[in-house]
Amino acid sequence: MLVFGSFRLDVENASLQRGKQAILLRPKTLHLLHYLVAHAGQLVTKDELWRAVWPGISVTDAALTVCVSEIRKALGDDAKTPRYLETAHRLGYRFIAPVSTEPVRVARPTRWETNSHSAPHRGSPTRHFVGCQPELA
């Protein structure tokens, strides 16, 4: 999990969150954001972005511009006074916010999930109902 500002980018689950709110982005836009965040602090050229996000596909500057615009909108960023994504005119982009990593939290199974292997089969008594075997049969 990549964390910057109040945002969390979960690469494995292809999701961006601000607090508990999910922010929906198109797959290419999310891929572009991930690439930029993974290279935070570095100038990433347009050619590098095209190779990384659109490998083997010819796209115009407009495709990249639209994705960058969607990223800025999702992050509430402004191109003139950026907090996250800085434009290096005619060269590329630089993700300028500090980025940290956070381990992905795995939800602990509930009691029901941990005991689901002992759930009764049809017609067999359960140990949760003591003394009710005839009724359960």
Distances in Å between the Cα of 106 and the Cα atoms of 20, 103, 109 are 16, 9, 9
In a domain, 107, yes or no: no
pLDDT of res. 15: 95
Cβ 44 vs Cβ 36: under 8 Å:
yes
Q: Which domain holds residue 47?
A: 2-101
Report how far residue 77's alpha carbon sits from residue 47's, in angstroms, rounded to the nearest whole number: 23
* Number of domains observed in the structure of the chain: 1
Give the residue from 58, 11, 61 showing the smallest Cα distance to 33. Answer: 11
CB atoms within 10 A of CB 76: 12
In a domain, 118, yes or no: no
In a domain, 42, yes or no: yes
For residue range 64-105, list pLDDT tens digits in order.
999 999 999 999 999 999 999 999 999 999 999 999 998 766
In a domain, 66, yes or no: yes
In a domain, 129, yes or no: no
**What's 73's domain CATH number?**
1.10.10.10
In a domain, 62, yes or no: yes
Alpha helix stretches (DSSP H) within 23-127: 27-38, 46-53, 61-75, 111-114
For residue range 31-57, list pLDDT tens digits in order.
999 999 999 999 999 999 999 999 998
Q: Which of 95-104, 106-115, 126-135 is most confident?
A: 95-104
